[in-house]
């Protein structure tokens, strides 16, 4: 059963949040599992740790986190979307994962008593990229960590765009359009790239930074299609793009997914591990 924490609507999540979007998020999580495991290893995660997954969505990262901390560890997943948490709960039950608690609410206003903080590690994946006030969010997460604890952020940068071979310019057009929607929704341009500097200003030490992207079969373009389809209602409402343009991009990216291409990439993710200093 998910518990409810206070929410004030800080996040500017521009995607649909419906069943299709939840399936998209699960697909993205699955292909990024190796990068998550590597980031947890770099961060020194050990058996028995307590971990908070902020913006856990349908729970794609939760099984990996549970595996990393072992039976003696503890995982809390928080999200504002009831449907996403319901999916996460079903996934945990299906996998027999018992050390995960799910909380509905906004990470900017978590009650440590409710969630069982402070935490040894906090994870954000594709979460900080949706924050119109990232400095406020970083300050809130700082208070949820124990001294010496790690905030591990794995977030896609606005550039460079995904690529394909042979070249598929449609991927760059879609990526630029999606980030234009983020900026129009109040997200600071270059937010992900600025996380190390913002972290220092919030009182963190930068423990490490890494960059990575996935090179995969052309079918990876289907996930880019799903992202654009999920963003379509907000794009239309905000005037970022016309329906005709969005539909053209969807058709062209579907052709990439099924066409004669050698590979397609994800966006470039920046991994930033921020440590709360020992007191």
User: Which of helix, strand or coil describes residue 152?
Assistant: strand
Please give the domain boundaries of the chain with CATH numbers for all domains. Answer: 3-156+188-214+267-275 (3.40.50.150)
- Residue 194 is classified by DSSP as G
Sign of CA dihedral 166, 172, 60, 269: positive
User: Residue 125 and residue 59: Cα distance in Å, rounded?
Assistant: 11
pLDDT at 59: 83
pLDDT at 30: 77
pLDDT at 12: 53
pLDDT at 7: 41
Can you give the pLDDT of all 279 residues of the chain as single tens digits?
344 444 444 445 444 445 565 666 566 677 888 999 999 999 999 999 999 999 998 888 999 999 999 999 999 999 988 988 998 998 889 888 899 999 998 888 887 777 888 999 999 999 999 999 999 999 999 999 999 999 999 999 999 999 999 999 999 999 999 999 999 999 999 999 999 999 999 999 999 999 999 999 999 999 999 999 999 999 999 999 999 999 999 999 999 999 899 999 999 999 999 999 997
pTM: predicted TM-score of the whole model, two decimal places: 0.90
HSE (CB half, 13 Å, CA atoms) of 4?
Answer: 5
């Amino acid at each position: 059963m998910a518990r409810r924490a206070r929410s004030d609507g800080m996040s500017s999540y521009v995607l649909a949040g419906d069943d299709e979007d939840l399936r998209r998020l699960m697909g993205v999580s699955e292909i990024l599992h190796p990068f998550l495991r590597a980031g947890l290893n770099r961060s020194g995660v050990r058996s028995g740790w307590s971990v908070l997954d902020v913006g856990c969505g349908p729970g794609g990262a939760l099984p990996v986190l549970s595996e990393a901390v072992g039976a003696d560890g503890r995982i809390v997943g928080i999200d504002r979307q009831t449907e996403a948490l319901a999916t996460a709960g079903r996934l945990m039950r299906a996998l027999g994962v018992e050390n995960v608690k799910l909380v509905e609410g906004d990470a900017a206003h978590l009650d440590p008593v409710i969630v069982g903080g402070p935490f040894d590690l906090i994870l954000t994946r594709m979460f900080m990229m949706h924050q119109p006030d990232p400095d406020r969010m970083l300050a809130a997460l700082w208070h949820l960590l124990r001294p010496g604890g790690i905030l591990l952020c794995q977030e896609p940068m606005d550039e460079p765009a995904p690529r394909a071979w042979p070249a598929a310019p449609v991927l760059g057009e879609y990526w630029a359009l999606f980030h234009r929607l983020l900026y129009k929704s109040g997200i600071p341009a270059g937010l992900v790239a600025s996380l190390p500097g913002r972290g220092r200003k919030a009182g963190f030490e930068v423990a490490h930074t890494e960059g990575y992207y996935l090179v995969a079969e052309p079918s990876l373009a289907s996930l880019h299609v799903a992202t654009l389809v999920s963003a379509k209602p907000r794009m239309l409402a905000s005037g970022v793009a016309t329906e005709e343009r969005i539909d053209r991009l969807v058709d062209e990216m579907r052709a990439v997914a099924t066409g004669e291409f050698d590979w397609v990439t994800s966006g470039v993710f920046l991994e930033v591990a921020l440590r709360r200093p020992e007191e």
